[in-house]
Structure 1
Amino acid sequence: MRIRRTFFIGFSLVIWLLIIYVTVVNRQITLTDGNEDVNNRLLKLEEGIAEQYKLNKHFINDLHTVIEAKKQAAVVDNEIEVHTRKEFKGTVIPVLVLACNRVSVSRCLDQLIQYRPNPDQFPIIVSQDCNHQETTDVINRYGSQILLIQQPDQSDIDVPPKEKKFKGYFKIARHYGWALNQTFFNFNFETVIIVEDDLDVAPDFFEYFLGTYPLLIKDPYLWCISAWNDNGKLGLVDEKKPELLYRTDFFPGLGWMLTKSLWIELCSKWPRAYWDDWIRQPEQRKDRACIRPEISRTRTFGKIGVSNGLFFEKHLKYIKLNEVFVPFTKMNLSYLMKDIYDNELIRTVYQSAVVSYQELKDDKIAYDGPVRIIYHTKDAFKRTAKLLGLMDDFRSGVPRTGYRGIVTFHYKGRTVYLAPNMNWKGYELSWS
């Protein structure tokens, strides 16, 4: 692109020189004295042409120098990009599988082992809580294909009387904290992908995380990469565009990648329970975002758990798991960097036509392209979200998949934005 721009500049310069040249010639052949000898006029013309030739040669040499410098710069940029890709491709990113008492952890492990491109680059660490022997036996069958570590603290947890039935959430938070400490401080890894034992993974699961890893490292306004789309149900995603990725202010979890530097920030204040809602609070998020896919790269099959199947029957079991391999490591994902992404999103969303839910539902929109449904209040959002089949809850004021208050989804063949006014001032904690 830069080379073509340089040639355009060069071409324009040549045209400009030709104009000067013609002007000089015309000036030289203009009769300034009707009695001037023809030989004198020819001599002056020859001198002018010679001088212009020297001038042209000088500019052409400079032009060649500029073009060559641009070529070399392009080569250097390409070498840097190639070097960066090679560097990131060689990065070791372990997968930390959090297990407890599900013997079905084998379903998750089988897929991880089947799809990982390189066991040295993606070692699998299974961290088991609960001292459930049957699950331990299943994990041990994988031998050297995985590394098993076991949470040593199996003591009872003191839980407030009103939260006795939520004791499982306290144990999960304790396990998460211990397992991440082991991964980052004992094994000394710099990055980790966290997977729970009830997740299916897509064929391009590893490619997705490896391709987005540079974004997580380069963009200070990102703090996680997630494989999950909270609104990723059939009918709400564009199945023809599995390569689509988005920024989101909502922490999705369910297969996510974080760095050691983030864990150092969080570990000293890690909560006793409800870690996922805690991490969504503004004090932890600090206006940072995550990357999430159009089509999920994970899907939960764990109907039974500490949440007692909350959301599973109504929502989670309908999540679409990606089946098409997308070569993310070969794609230019710079459009996801904050400045580029924000400008394009705002322009696209607020130039789109405003429609009502009924018009969208009845397919009575006479034009192509994305459309926008506006919400002004929490109740208006929840009402519209329910009608559309979207998740309608908030965490710390942020709707699921929301970015700058905008929830993007696919409906009846078009992109739809459920969006606040353009003068949006930020999330309201009272909407939680």
Structure 2
Amino acid sequence: MRLKTTYIIGVLLIIWASFIYFTFINRPLNITESPENIDSQLNVLEGGIDEQFKHNREMINKLHTFLEHKKRNKMKNESSKQIKTQEHNGFVIPILVFACNRVSVSRCLDQLLQYRPNPDQFPIIVSQDCNHKETTDVINRYGSQVTLIKQPDQSDIEVLPQEKKFKGYFKIARHYGWALNQTFFNFNFDAVIIVEDDLEVAPDFFEYFTATYPLLLEDPTLWCISAWNDNGKIGLVNENNPEQLYRTDFFPGLGWMLTKKLWSELCTKWPKSYWDDWIRQPNQRKERACIRPEISRTKTFGKIGVSNGLFFEKHLKYIKLNDLFVPFTKMDLSYLLKDTYDREFVLKVYQSPVVSYQELKEDKIVYDGPVRIVYHTKDAFKRNAKMLGLMDDFRRACSIFQSGVPRMAYRGIVTFFYKKRIVHLAPSFNWKGYDLSWS
């Protein structure tokens, strides 16, 4: 628009100058003047006209320069506004790695650094307990790539005689409480992704959390994003569908994200031990859910720990770690919001035909598509889960906390992949909620 105005002004100036020129040149000559005087006057007039044209050209050039300068400034300002908007809409989420006495923490850190897309967006904080020098030395080798903080309270913890062998769980709970307080209230981050020192991560680990973080902010019925599927063993997941995500009422942990808002709610009543089972209690969960993947984005390699390898040989070492990059940030994940998910997922589950375990195992189902195995009691659930290779427990054997939620269940429904089809191990349609006595 401004360039167009410049051209109009220039044309008007040229017309004005031409008018003056032709007016003076074509005016009637004073015949009383001598030819020499007329020639002299014409020379003066032509010189004035030339000077006027020169002045007009200078004015037009100055106008061009001025408008180009304004245009560049406008583009610069718009670009600056765009960058500021991106910074404002962006987020920084630290990866909080819990370490103790495993020098193999390097295996975890190496993968995090390998797959991390942006060190400014995903700073890595390693929180170490135990004062294990060899582990500290390993962490220090990473220099400025990670920030090391150390849990200062190394005092012994008094426990009841029957819980002496579980003292490690008390120390872990103390460490978690301290490190999360540091992350949220000292470093002042708005969210954090928790990783333990014995976890491998998938190539799209950061992509997964980047895409699901907005869901966590938008949907108040969500309280965590987890990279873990407790039933994600080879043969129980659809490896051709790594982009599939689900809601679950069970807190999965093992690579998970929470917000400062949630921690502010939990920190004042943080337990002295068994924090992961405590967090699954109804009083903490408050009917909120987590997002979990079909195929895990983490895998544990820590056979030896405070749990003494509980479940590792039977289960954990068979978990499938996703090895393909899924561009989650380019996908529409709104189907995971509660209203949509409850309407569509529950409908699909209860429209699927009911089959028996024997029919499923012997592949005697004549139709394609998802199927449903129904359970009504705790024993029926555990029996079917064990036959199908699912985790059939509701809590750890050493825990005093109860939730009654089967692992990976949503509204009592445990969804998995078996014999090349989706299977729902589900309660009846008029399900009344979880029963604490099932724990």
TM-score (norm 2): 0.79
Amino acid at match of 1:430: S
Give, in whole Å, the separation in 2 of the partners of 1:116 and 1:99: 19
- Does structure 1 residue 368 correspond to structure 2 residue 375? no
Asked if the contact 1:89/1:210 (under 8 Å) is kept, the reply is: no
- Does structure 1 residue 135 correspond to structure 2 residue 126? no
Give the match for residue 415 of structure 1: 422
Give the match for residue 61 of structure 1: none
Deviation at 1:406, TM superposition (A): 0.1
Amino acid at match of 2:333: L
Deviation at 1:250, TM superposition (A): 0.1
Q: Number of aligned pairs?
A: 351
Give, in whole Å, the separation in 2 of the partners of 1:245 and 1:274: 27
- Does structure 1 residue 337 correspond to structure 2 residue 344? no
Per-residue displacement from partner, 1:179-213 (whole Å, max 9, x unpaired)?
00000000000000000000000000000000000
Aligned 1:344-359 pairs, distance under 5 A:
344-359=344-359
- Alignment counterpart, residue 407 of structure 2, candidates 394, 397, 400: 400
Give, in whole Å, the separation in 2 of the partners of 1:322 and 1:236: 13
Identity of aligned residues (%): 82
- Partner of 1:252: helix, strand, or coil? coil
- Does structure 1 residue 162 correspond to structure 2 residue 159? no
- Partner of 1:135: helix, strand, or coil? helix
Aligned 1:241-320 pairs, distance under 5 A:
241-320=241-320
Deviation at 1:426, TM superposition (A): 0.1
- Does structure 1 residue 100 correspond to structure 2 residue 107? no
- Partner of 1:268: helix, strand, or coil? helix
- Partner of 2:258: helix, strand, or coil? strand
Asked if the contact 1:88/1:214 (under 8 Å) is kept, the reply is: no
Give the match for residue 224 of structure 1: 224
Give, in whole Å, the separation in 1 of the partners of 2:344 and 2:412: 15
Deviation at 1:394, TM superposition (A): 1.1
Deviation at 1:90, TM superposition (A): 2.1
5+ long unaligned stretches in structure 2: 1-81, 396-402
Amino acid at match of 2:252: P
Give, in whole Å, the separation in 2 of the partners of 1:273 and 1:150: 20
Deviation at 1:158, TM superposition (A): 1.0
Give, in whole Å, the separation in 2 of the partners of 1:345 and 1:295: 18
Per-residue displacement from partner, 1:328-387 (whole Å, max 9, x unpaired)?
111100000000000111110111000000000000000001000000000000000000
CA spacing shift, 1:88–1:350, aligned 2, 3 Å: farther
Give, in whole Å, the separation in 2 of the partners of 1:140 and 1:275: 29
Amino acid at match of 2:242: P
Per-residue displacement from partner, 1:143-169 (whole Å, max 9, x unpaired)?
000000000000000111110110000
Amino acid at match of 1:398: V
CA spacing shift, 1:110–1:89, aligned 2, 3 Å: farther
Give, in whole Å, the separation in 2 of the partners of 1:127 and 1:88: 28
Deviation at 1:86, TM superposition (A): 5.0
CA spacing shift, 1:110–1:88, aligned 2, 3 Å: farther
- Partner of 2:214: helix, strand, or coil? helix
Give the match for residue 430 of structure 1: 437
Asked if the contact 1:397/1:427 (under 8 Å) is kept, the reply is: yes
Give, in whole Å, the separation in 1 of the partners of 2:246 and 2:201: 19
Give, in whole Å, the separation in 1 of the partners of 2:179 and 2:372: 43
Amino acid at match of 1:431: W
Amino acid at match of 1:402: A
Give the match for residue 17 of structure 1: none
Deviation at 1:87, TM superposition (A): 6.4
Amino acid at match of 2:435: E
Amino acid at match of 2:436: L
Amino acid at match of 1:235: G
- Does structure 1 residue 125 correspond to structure 2 residue 125? yes
Amino acid at match of 2:234: L
What stretches of structure 1 move > 6 A for 4+ residues in a row? none
Per-residue displacement from partner, 1:390-411 (whole Å, max 9, x unpaired)?
0001141000000000000000
TM-score (norm 1): 0.80
Aligned 1:322-333 pairs, distance under 5 A:
322-333=322-333
Note the aligned Cα RMSD (angstroms): 1.5
Give the match for residue 77 of structure 1: none
Give, in whole Å, the separation in 1 of the partners of 2:125 and 2:228: 21
Deviation at 1:102, TM superposition (A): 0.1
Give, in whole Å, the separation in 2 of the partners of 1:424 and 1:123: 44
Amino acid at match of 2:268: S
CA spacing shift, 1:406–1:144, aligned 2, 3 Å: same
Give the match for residue 386 of structure 2: 386
Per-residue displacement from partner, 1:311-331 (whole Å, max 9, x unpaired)?
000000000000010011111
CA spacing shift, 1:231–1:270, aligned 2, 3 Å: same
Give the match for residue 183 of structure 1: 183
Give, in whole Å, the separation in 1 of the partners of 2:162 and 2:190: 39
Give, in whole Å, the separation in 2 of the partners of 1:86 and 1:363: 52
Asked if the contact 1:385/1:392 (under 8 Å) is kept, the reply is: yes
Higher-Rg structure is 2
